[in-house]
Structure 1
């Protein structure tokens, strides 16, 4: 889907991000030294950069002075949680600013939001006989259009954006319905069953025990 440069000197965090981005279909390159970033940008031409602030040799704020003129979207991912730091990061030209510790699903969602803003994503998702035209809100199964409700399409889009990742019922309820978990998630189960039946995804939308659901595309 997109080529993402991860600039992070904590290897465990960089590996975690890379693993999850690859699961949802992105390609990644990892850099752990501020001095190597500009060369890596030239070599890999990334669609988006995840940038730590505290890096060896050259920090993220300093790097943004060189990155900003290139027009590459940047998401700061840093332990620097002061308001002044966040303001500095956003004013430097970054598209988003996320503070550690972070939830991987939130990071992926924000990445998809930025990529969509720059239109760096595939607008068509295909899985066996299923075709989802994301920009057009059109779903085809065996070349025949399938009518989905607005909530069903939003739920499907969220599963596609986080393919191969387990999403909790609470998270799905919050992101699709815009409400916090209030002890009732049956509406998620009902909508998942409808998607499975309408789109013949019984073997693809997996139930994750005591968690929620995952769209399996591998």
Structure 2
């Protein structure tokens, strides 16, 4: 399981990020100021750091210079949207920059993108009696392979990375089929039904009337 450090002094934002990311399958810890983050980095290693700029004790730019020694990927998360701040953050070695306010879906997508860039994406995902290898794209139950189509596997990974989150049909279609949802296509529903049948997930993938679906864990 990938370990993330959230460095954010506003507790409600830090909690929002942690809850969403943990539902997506990541292990998270929080540091509420720059000094606390520097202290924890001396004894622990993380796969990714989510770093606010405006922090007590030591600000994000100052902390970034310290983080570089550990070669850990960093995403700046801040309310400062000026171009010069973005340029400075990226120039210090950050891998991405998200401006507040942001949607949870955007945060998760950017985390996954940076981790893939560092070849740290979640290779093995466990769900109940299923084992999913996201790199080799193999799904197993009790050691036996289960054959899924490419889109069925993409759909399963989308659900697994957004556990307990209701996904709108248009988002599912846009992420799996990479096109614009016309509001009438039955493609999403048909693939969800086939996925539930193949994997025995009838009680896990819940239909949310007039909205979409949710994978309950």
Q: Please give the TM-score of this superposition, normalised by the length of structure 1.
A: 0.90
What is the distance in 2 between the residues matched to 1:127 and 1:43? 31
Aligned to 1:201: 201
| Post-superposition CA distance 1:53-96 (Å, at most 9, x none) | 11123221221111112101111111111222222212211111
Unpaired segments of 5 or more residues in structure 2? Answer: none
Aligned to 2:95: 95
Residues 1:110 and 2:110 are matched in the alignment: yes
Q: Please say if residues 170 and 185 of structure 1, whose CA atoms lie closer than 8 Å, have aligned partners that are also in contact.
A: no
Deviation at 1:6, TM superposition (A): 0.8
Q: Please say if residues 137 and 153 of structure 1, whose CA atoms lie closer than 8 Å, have aligned partners that are also in contact.
A: yes
Deviation at 1:20, TM superposition (A): 1.5
Unpaired segments of 5 or more residues in structure 1? Answer: none
Q: Please say if residues 7 and 33 of structure 2, whose CA atoms lie closer than 8 Å, have aligned partners that are also in contact.
A: yes
Residues 1:43 and 2:43 are matched in the alignment: yes
What is the distance in 2 between the residues matched to 1:141 and 1:40? 38
Q: Please give the TM-score of this superposition, normalised by the length of structure 2.
A: 0.91
| Post-superposition CA distance 1:132-188 (Å, at most 9, x none) | 221111122454322222211111111112222222211111111112333235211
Q: Please say if residues 169 and 185 of structure 1, whose CA atoms lie closer than 8 Å, have aligned partners that are also in contact.
A: no
Moved more, 11-20 or 202-211: 202-211
Aligned to 1:2: 2
Moved more, 189-198 or 205-214: 205-214
What is the distance in 1 between the residues matched to 2:69 and 2:32? 22
What is the distance in 2 between the residues matched to 1:165 and 1:209? 14
Q: Against the structure 1 CA distance between its residues 97 and 124, is the aligned structure 2 distance closer, same or farther, given a 3 Å change threshold?
A: same
Deviation at 1:21, TM superposition (A): 1.8
Aligned to 2:83: 83
- Which runs of 4 or more aligned residues in structure 1 lie more than 4 Å from their structure 2 counterparts after TM superposition? none
Residues 1:127 and 2:127 are matched in the alignment: yes
Aligned to 1:179: 179
Aligned to 1:34: 34
SS in 2 for 1:135: coil
| Root-mean-square deviation over aligned CA pairs | 1.8
Q: Please say if residues 173 and 188 of structure 1, whose CA atoms lie closer than 8 Å, have aligned partners that are also in contact.
A: yes
